[in-house]
């Protein structure tokens, strides 16, 4: 098992991993007799079924050992030859975290090529998820389930109506807050008293998370049509 970020992955080496499958079961072959041919077929069938049972038990043991490492919303990529991947998926309780598979034998490969392949899979997954999210934002406009622009997003976040905040990674805004109504902010200094928010975007991210919402960071200009920041709402505005 490997853990890491981007293309930097490290093998977990402790009491849990790595694990190695060892066939220790002794299979009783049929004695030579007039029914040897039929007995041999039954023997091969029994041996095959027993091996399948033992292999699935091995993969279940692996899956159970992964629990402590996958308690959060970490994504999982499964690598191995096709039969191994199939057997693991048949018993795994972490399928909802599997975002891709890599078919092939990587037992003796260096870590770097595997990391590159895994990151490619992850990049494809992230891109597809972001495209789906942008589609949801666009569709939400007609149903009043999407707001964009720093002022409207701030207002909905303060009301606890933020389901998913989407913001470009380098987007920063200095804003001015009305001390009499903290649901209102201004881009320029308003008349009367005000409080300066040196990073209103960072503050919005904190508010959304604090109220149980999600925050997604995207590349610059991905939200050009949404004024660089947008939010999917829990209920219509």
Instruction: For residues 167-177, give the mean pLDDT.
Output: 95
Over residues 1-15, the pLDDT tens digits come to 888 776 677 888 888
- The verdict on 65 and 172 lying in the same domain is no
Asked if the model's pLDDT at residue 21 lies above 50, the reply is: yes
**Assigned domain for 133 exists:** no
From CA 56, how far away is CA 86, in angstroms rounded? 10
Q: Which tops the pLDDT comparison, 59 or 146?
A: 146
| Cα-trace Rg, the chain | 27
Q: Say if residues 88 and 78 touch (Cβ distance below 8 Å).
A: yes
Is 32 in the same domain as 58? yes
Write out pLDDT tens, residues 106-138: 776 667 788 888 889 999 998 999 999 999 999
Confidence of residue 72 (pLDDT cuts 50, 70, 90): confident
Domain co-membership, 121 together with 8: yes
pLDDT tens readout for residues 131-159: 999 999 999 999 999 999 999 999 999 99
- 131 within domain boundaries: no
Which helix (H) or strand (E) segment holds residue 26: the answer is none
What are residue 10's phi and psi, to 5 degrees? -130, 145
Residues of the chain above pLDDT 90, percent = 54
Exposure string of 4-35, with b = 16+ CB inside 10 Å and e = fewer, is: eeeeebeeeeeeeeeeeeeeeeeeeebeeeee
The confidence score (pLDDT) of residue 13 equals 84
pLDDT in tens, 191-220: 888 899 999 999 999 999 999 999 999 999
Residue where a domain terminates, one of 95, 125, 155: 125
Query: Residue 136 falls within a domain, yes or no?
Result: no
Q: Is the pLDDT of residue 73 over 80?
A: no
Q: Does residue 34 carry a pLDDT above 50? A: no
Q: b/e per residue, 77-104, with b = 16+ CB within 10 A?
A: bbbbeeebbebbeebbebeeeebbbeee
Share the mean pLDDT of the chain. Answer: 86
- Asked whether residue 18 falls in the same domain as residue 84, the answer is yes
SS3 116: helix
Domain that holds residue 58: 2-125
Q: Is 121 domain-assigned?
A: yes
Q: For residue 214, give the 3-state DSSP assignment.
A: strand
Predicted confidence at residue 95, as pLDDT, reads 92
- Look at residue 130 and tell me if it is in a domain: no
Q: Is residue 159 part of a domain?
A: yes
**50 within domain boundaries:** yes
């Amino acid at each position: 098992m490997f853990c890491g970020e981007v293309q930097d992955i490290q093998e977990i080496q402790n009491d849990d991993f790595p694990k190695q499958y060892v066939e220790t079961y002794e299979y009783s072959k049929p004695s030579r007799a007039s029914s040897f041919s039929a007995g041999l077929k039954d023997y091969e069938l029994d041996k095959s079924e027993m091996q399948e049972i033992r292999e699935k038990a091995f993969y279940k043991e692996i899956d159970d050992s992964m629990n402590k490492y996958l308690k959060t919303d970490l994504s999982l990529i499964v690598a191995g030859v096709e039969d191994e991947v199939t057997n693991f998926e048949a018993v795994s309780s972490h399928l909802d975290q599997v975002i891709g598979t890599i078919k092939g034998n990587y037992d003796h490969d260096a870590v770097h090529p595997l990391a590159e392949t895994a990151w490619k899979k992850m990049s494809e997954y992230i891109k597809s998820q972001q495209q789906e999210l942008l589609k949801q934002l666009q569709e939400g406009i007609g149903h009043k389930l999407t707001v964009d622009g720093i002022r409207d997003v701030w207002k909905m976040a303060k009301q606890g109506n933020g389901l998913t905040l989407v913001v470009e990674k380098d987007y920063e805004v200095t804003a001015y807050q009305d001390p009499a109504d903290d649901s209102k902010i201004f881009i320029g200094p308003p008349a009367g008293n005000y409080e300066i928010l040196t990073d209103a975007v960072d503050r919005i991210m904190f508010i959304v998370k604090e109220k149980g919402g999600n925050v997604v960071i995207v590349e610059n200009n991905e939200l050009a049509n949404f004024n660089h920041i947008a939010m999917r709402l829990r209920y219509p505005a």
